């Protein structure tokens, strides 16, 4: 039985490696903060609770928050080690997002391949292909709209204003020059 998302060599894979191979997060992205980090990659946004909250709010207004909720549920599912808890969560994910009567149905290919029999013997990666589809859908669709949205632009502007007001990001000589030359 699998206990967590692992690569071919048995090492734990970072979210960017699980979700996509092109344009994944890199070390340079990790030095960015707030909206700068969110704009660098969807992975960065999904790793920041504030980013997830803002993205969720945006998706609610677009009536597509079920995609993010499904992705998050799958992330939580992969961390479960107890078989009974895993079975319960698998059924919940199926009934909430995948079955024809789901309350927050996502539109992915292969969702009908998840059958009641699979739910009886779940494994941490059973939803991975469906989760990857949703990740790509968000990355190339709703995430791009989020970055262009008025909401994101306002967040970015207010963050930049706060940074300038606090002098963050300026070197001491540059800040001194700005203060004394005004």
Identify the CATH number of the domain in which residue 119 sits: 1.10.167.10
137 & 111 share domain: yes
56 & 74 share domain: yes
Q: Residue 98 has which token pair?
A: 């995948």
* Residue 8 domain flag: no
- Whether 24 shows a pLDDT value over 90: the answer reads no
Handedness of CA 167, 146, 79, 136 (dihedral sign): negative
* Dihedral Cα 171, 177, 178, 182, nearest 10 deg: 170
Question: Average of pLDDT values for 98-117?
Answer: 81
* Residue 26 domain flag: yes
- Whether 140 shows a pLDDT value over 90: the answer reads yes
Any idea what DSSP says for residue 21? S
C-alpha separations of 152 from 103, 137, 149, 156 in Å: 28, 19, 5, 6
- Whether 27 shows a pLDDT value over 60: the answer reads no
pLDDT band at 99 (very low <50, low <70, confident <90, very high): confident
69 & 154 share domain: no
> Which residue, chain included where needed, has tokens 């803002």?
54
- Whether 178 shows a pLDDT value over 60: the answer reads no
60 & 132 share domain: yes
Environment class of residue 125 by beta-carbon count within 10 Å: exposed (0-12), middle (13-18) or buried (19+)? middle
Answer yes or no: pTM beyond 0.85. no
37 & 117 share domain: yes
110 & 31 share domain: yes
Is the distance from CB of 79 to CB of 4 less than 8 angstroms? Answer: yes
**pLDDT at residue 77, rounded to an integer:** 96
- Whether 172 shows a pLDDT value over 60: the answer reads no
Between 50-54, 107-111, 127-131, the lowest mean confidence (pLDDT) is in 107-111
Q: Residue 9 has which token pair?
A: 């060599």
SS3 (DSSP) at 119: helix
124 & 161 share domain: no
* Residue 10 domain flag: no
95 & 33 share domain: yes
87 & 158 share domain: no
Best CA proximity match to 68, nearest among 32, 42, 87, 88: 42
Range(s) of the domain holding residue 60 = 15-144
* Residue 120 domain flag: yes
19 & 95 share domain: yes
- Whether 15 shows a pLDDT value over 80: the answer reads no
Indicate the number of domains in the chain.
2
Q: What is the pLDDT of residues 149-161, one digit of tens each?
A: 999 999 999 998 8
Question: Average of pLDDT values for 40-69?
Answer: 96
* Residue 24 domain flag: yes
pLDDT band at 8 (very low <50, low <70, confident <90, very high): very low
Is the distance from CB of 74 to CB of 133 less than 8 angstroms? Answer: no
């Amino acid at each position: 039985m699998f206990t967590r998302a692992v690569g071919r060599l048995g090492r734990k894979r970072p979210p960017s490696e699980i979700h996509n191979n092109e344009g994944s997060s890199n070390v340079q992205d990790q030095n960015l903060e707030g909206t700068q980090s969110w704009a660098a990659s969807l992975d960065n946004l999904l790793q920041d609770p504030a980013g997830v909250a803002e993205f969720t709010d945006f998706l609610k207004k677009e009536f597509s928050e079920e995609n993010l909720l499904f992705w998050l549920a799958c992330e939580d599912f992969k961390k479960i080690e107890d078989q009974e808890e895993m079975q319960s969560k698998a059924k919940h994910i199926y009934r909430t997002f995948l079955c024809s009567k789901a309350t927050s149905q996502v539109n992915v290919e292969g969702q009908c391949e998840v059958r009641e029999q699979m739910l009886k013997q779940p494994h941490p990666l059973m939803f991975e292909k469906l989760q990857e589809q949703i990740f790509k859908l968000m990355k190339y669709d709703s995430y791009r709209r989020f970055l262009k949205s008025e909401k994101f632009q306002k967040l970015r502007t207010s963050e930049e204003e706060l940074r300038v007001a606090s002098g963050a990001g300026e070197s001491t000589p540059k800040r001194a020059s700005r203060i004394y030359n005004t």
